[in-house]
Amino acid sequence: MSGEPELPRIPDTQGPHAESLGEWLRGEGPDVDIALCTRIRFARNVQGYRFSTSLDAREAADLDAFLRRAIASLRIEPPLTTHELTHLDALEREVLVERHLISREHAHSERPRSVAYDAGESVAMMINEEDHLRSQVFRSGLCVGETYRAAEALDDALLGAVPIAFSEQFGFLTACPTNVGTGLRASVMLHLPALVWGDEIERAAHSAQKIHLAVRGMYGEGSRALGDFYQVSNQITLGRTEAEVLEDVETAVRQLVDWERRVRIALLSGRKADQTKDRVFRALGTLQNAHILTSEECLTNLSAVRLGVHQELIQHLTVRDLNQILLLTQPAHLQQLCAERLAPADRDARRAGVVRAVLTRAASR
Amino acid sequence: MSGEPELPRIPDTQGPHAESLGEWLRGEGPDVDIALCTRIRFARNVQGYRFSTSLDAREAADLDAFLRRAIASLRIEPPLTTHELTHLDALEREVLVERHLISREHAHSERPRSVAYDAGESVAMMINEEDHLRSQVFRSGLCVGETYRAAEALDDALLGAVPIAFSEQFGFLTACPTNVGTGLRASVMLHLPALVWGDEIERAAHSAQKIHLAVRGMYGEGSRALGDFYQVSNQITLGRTEAEVLEDVETAVRQLVDWERRVRIALLSGRKADQTKDRVFRALGTLQNAHILTSEECLTNLSAVRLGVHQELIQHLTVRDLNQILLLTQPAHLQQLCAERLAPADRDARRAGVVRAVLTRAASR
């Protein structure tokens, strides 16, 4: 048999292009076996402009240009590069969404708008999204304090360069009242397969919701959490200090991390161990062998394999291999990698090919 | 993680124990990619004894001893060794059933009874089964004529040594009227995954049934054919000559073999190819990685992998590897290999271990 389609060349994350995974999938940092990434976001608006949602086209272009210049003038590390989204095609914008650098709404909006981010993708500033400026800082692993300090430094630089709308009574003013006050959102992306398999995820989510944190599936719509990825974030921005909010998030996330860790150990003890290994290795076998793979099945199997790698059941794979698969098998990345637009059915075959290519390379290391 | 249970040492079928697969799984011969094995069976009864089902214990013991001596005296190749089933324990008898050397009824009957077979397991004679003697000859692959000639030579030797019940009007007399006449059953074991996957198996079976052949699943009960294995055999023993019966079976089987082969090619053409490869390789991935494997799932996945090996999608496995798995994962073989009685739930873990061991060895060749 010939006819095996040539697999796309997979970028080598071990080599000089290691930064291509971006900060949120770098796979290093405290508790990164469960907490993939910490993110701090500030919502800010510029004095003298209406909110973005109310701007006419000329005003929007004016604001966009103003903020691009302002960001370019900031003396910050790492340096940022600014990209006007209207200069990018739909696929390029979709790639930025999949890398968590811009929101889906920002990709699809028709306003003049931009994004500034650094080479390591640890900082991303959206211009003319719902607010004039949404600054985000990412750190691999669970590190709320460190991420906050980096975001605060960025915000301080911004406040020194741009007149930001602020009210003594309410704090920072934002387009949507849910962000007024601190304009701060702290979120941590968690991988909680053991809580899902052990049927404890509902109770776990509820414990975080009790202190007004939001728990959402990172992939999929509504309450479905494909791949067992969850995002925990604060909802309150008014009436609590930044320090209090950060502590709420950190405390709740630590609780979830400990809980997940206990259940992982239980899943590999006694009579459950065979079932867990069965689930983990079958998932690996499917990823290594499938020739057609939907996005959903890919995420589900990646989740089991990720657990297997972190619990040292699987020795020859690294988390970076899995993160690369997670990133590259998303629709836009897949099409960019294959250098062509693909119908959904063809994507499933290409996705399977990319997964096999990454895993084959890992097995031959 | 330690705690991987030690896998049983798998006999090496490539080495001096190669004969341990038996003739029916030897995996060589005409059309063996679809027709695993041809079998010819003669039902014979000894003059002067009532049929086995009517014998009292003393008569049964007497007949059993008489036929053991008679068979030992036959000057035939290959030489046979005789085993009294009452000297074997239940597990040993079950192993003989799984090797197709005796019937399940013969294993469980309480009569004094025996079996004689050769080292290569190409000949098996059951003493005191439903008939006094059931002689079977096996040949790997599709070779009705050659198998018949070997069975005929064996039968001639027997007829020269033992007074066999024969009626000029009816032919050979048998305990059940369905065998009277020739006492001949010719059967071929077929692997028909493409006809099953392509939803043509019903039509195919019907075409054989039209000329009074029986088509039965080899594994499983009733109409379910686990692993896509089917046995095609004649039902008529009276009113048609042996030559006519053999021709019926051979013609029908050839038709099924050609049909299966056409559909296999179609399954690997055009848009179906990806789906077929997906099915084949996922099955391989499951067998290589599962830690819990029921007998049914094992057969299902083996079937897909067998197709993959024969169609040269899978290069590193041989049919003998698969045949060894087929043989060793049966309950009695599994328990013999593990040298202990296993509860069904433990069997599923051991079965998975045996499968992984065979496939790992194959991958490292």
B150 to chain A, any CB pair closer than 8 A? The answer is no
B286–chain A nearest CA distance, Å = 5
Task: Say yes or no to pLDDT of A7 above 80.
Answer: no
Q: Per residue in B299-322, is it b (16+ CB within 10 Å) or e — as a string?
A: bbbbbbbbbbbbbebbeebbbbbb
SS3 B363: helix
ipTM of this complex: 0.85
Give residue-wise pLDDT tens across range A248-298. 999 999 999 999 999 999 999 988 999 999 999 999 999 999 999 999 999
Report the alpha-carbon distance of residue B135 to residue B147 in Å, rounded. 12
pLDDT at B14 over 60: no
Q: Kindly give the residue spans of alpha helices, DSSP state H, lying in A164-211.
A: 193-197, 201-209
- Greatest alpha-carbon pair distance for chain A in Å reads 73
Cβ-defined contact of A274 to B1 (cutoff 8 Å): no
Mean pLDDT of all residues belonging to chain B: 92
For residue range A213-244, list pLDDT tens digits in order: 999 988 765 556 899 999 999 998 998 999 99
Task: Indicate the DSSP class of residue B13.
Answer: T
Q: Which amino acid type is present at position A10?
A: I
- Surface-to-core class of residue A176, CB atoms within 10 Å of its CB (0-12 exposed, 13-18 middle, 19+ buried): exposed
**Is the pLDDT higher at A10 or at B89?**
B89
Q: What is the pLDDT averaged over residues B268-289?
A: 96
- Give me the residue label for tokens 């069997």: B347
pLDDT tens column, A30-86: 999 999 999 999 999 999 999 998 999 999 999 999 999 999 999 999 999 999 999
A23-265 adopts what CATH topology? Answer: Creatine Kinase; Chain A, domain 2 (3.30.590)
Q: CA distances (Å), B196 to each of A268, B118, B202, B259, B267, in order?
A: 39, 35, 8, 11, 11
A31-45, A143-157, A313-327, B327-341: the lowest-pLDDT one: B327-341
Q: Two tokens at A97?
A: 């969404």
Within 10 angstroms of residue A271's Cβ, the number of other Cβ atoms is: 7
**pLDDT score at B293:** 96
> Positive or negative, the Cα torsion across B282, B287, B292, B298?
positive
Q: Chain B closest CA to A330's CA: distance in Å?
A: 20
Tell me what pLDDT residue B219 has. 77
Tokens representing B31 are 């059309």
Q: Is a pLDDT exceeding 60 seen at residue B222?
A: no
Mean pLDDT (whole number) for A184-211? 95
pLDDT tops 80 at residue A168: yes
Please give the interface size between A and B, counted as residue pairs whose CB atoms are below 8 Å apart: 60
The token pair that represents A147 in the structure block: 């991420």
Per DSSP, the residues of B123-182 read EEEEESSSSSEEEEEEEESS-HHHHHHHHHHHHHHHHHHS-B-EETTTEE--SSGGGTBT
Between CA A305 and CA A227 the distance in angstroms is 10
Interhelix angle for B344-363 vs B319-328, to 10°?
160
Find the range with the poorest average confidence among A8-12, A114-118, B94-98, B327-331: A8-12
pLDDT of residue A345: 82
Residue A134 — very low, low, confident or very high, per pLDDT cuts 50/70/90? very high
What pLDDT score does B16 carry?
Answer: 41
Chain A positions in Cβ-Cβ contact with residue B286 (cut-off 8 Å)? 282, 285-286
What is the share, in percent, of chain A residues with pLDDT greater than 70? 93
In this predicted structure, the answer to whether residue A305 has a pLDDT above a threshold of 50 is: yes
Confidence of residue A26 (pLDDT cuts 50, 70, 90): very high
**B237-255, pLDDT tens digit by residue?**
998 999 999 999 999 999 9
DSSP assignments along B310-325, one per residue: HTTS--S--HHHHHHH
Closest CB to A282: pick one of B268, B289, B349: B289
Which of B2, B265, B278 should we substitute to test contact with A (largest number of A Cβ atoms within 10 Å)?
B278
The shortest C-alpha distance from B109 to chain A (Å) reads 38
Q: What's the CA gap between B238 and B185, in Å, rounded?
A: 11
Average pLDDT, chain A: 92
For residue B236 the two structure tokens come to: 């008529």
Q: What is the pLDDT of residues B172-186, one digit of tens each?
A: 999 999 999 999 999
Q: Which residue of A has its CA nearest to B356?
A: A281
Tell me which amino acid residue A107 is. Answer: A
pLDDT number for residue B224: 66
In this prediction, residue A2 carries a pLDDT of 37
> What is residue B1's predicted lDDT score, i.e. its pLDDT?
37
pLDDT digits (tens, 9 = 90+) for B39-82: 999 999 999 999 998 999 999 999 999 999 999 999 999 999 99
Which phi and psi angles does B225 have, rounded to 5°?
A: -115, 90
At CA A175, angle to CA A173 and CA A180, rounded to 5? 40
- Residue A220: its pLDDT value, please? 62
Report yes or no: B286 at the A interface, CB cutoff 8 Å: yes
The Cα–Cα gap between A8 and A67 comes to 38
Chain-centre distance for alpha carbon B31: 16
**Cα-based distances in Å from B146 to B139, B152, B222, B324:** 8, 10, 31, 25
- Of B268, B289, B312, which has the smallest distance from its Cβ to A285's Cβ? B289
* Cross-chain Cβ contact A290/B291 below 8 Å: no
User: Does residue B3 carry a pLDDT above 90?
Assistant: no
Phi, psi of A182 (to 5 degrees): -80, -25
**Do residues B230 and B219 lie in contact, with contact meaning Cβ atoms separated by under 8 Å?**
no
- pLDDT on residue B223: 55
Share of chain B above pLDDT 70, in %: 93
Task: Please report, for chain B, the start and end positions of each structural domain, with discontinuous segments joined by +.
Answer: 23-265, 273-363
Instruction: Supply B133's token pair.
Output: 């003697």
Residue A161: its pLDDT value, please? 96
Contact: A278, B288; criterion CB under 8 Å: no
Minimum mean pLDDT range among A63-67, A97-101, B5-9, B342-346 = B5-9
- Work out the minimum CA distance from B269 to partner chain A, whole angstroms: 10
CA distance A323 to chain B (A): 21
Strand bridging mode B35-44 / A171-172: unpaired
Residues A358 and A328: beta-carbon distance below 8 Å: yes
From B274, B288, B352, residue closest to A291, measured CB to CB: B274
Please tell me the predicted confidence (pLDDT) of residue B327: 94
Tell me the C-alpha distance between A95 and A322, whole Å.
18
User: Model confidence over B118-159: pLDDT tens digits?
Assistant: 999 999 999 999 999 999 999 999 999 999 999 999 999 999
Residue A14 has pLDDT above 70, yes or no: no
Predicted structure pTM score:
0.89
B3 touches chain A (CB under 8 A): yes
Three-class SS of residue B100? coil
| Banded pLDDT at A16 (limits 50, 70, 90) | very low
**Cα(B75)–Cα(B77) distance, rounded to whole angstroms?**
7
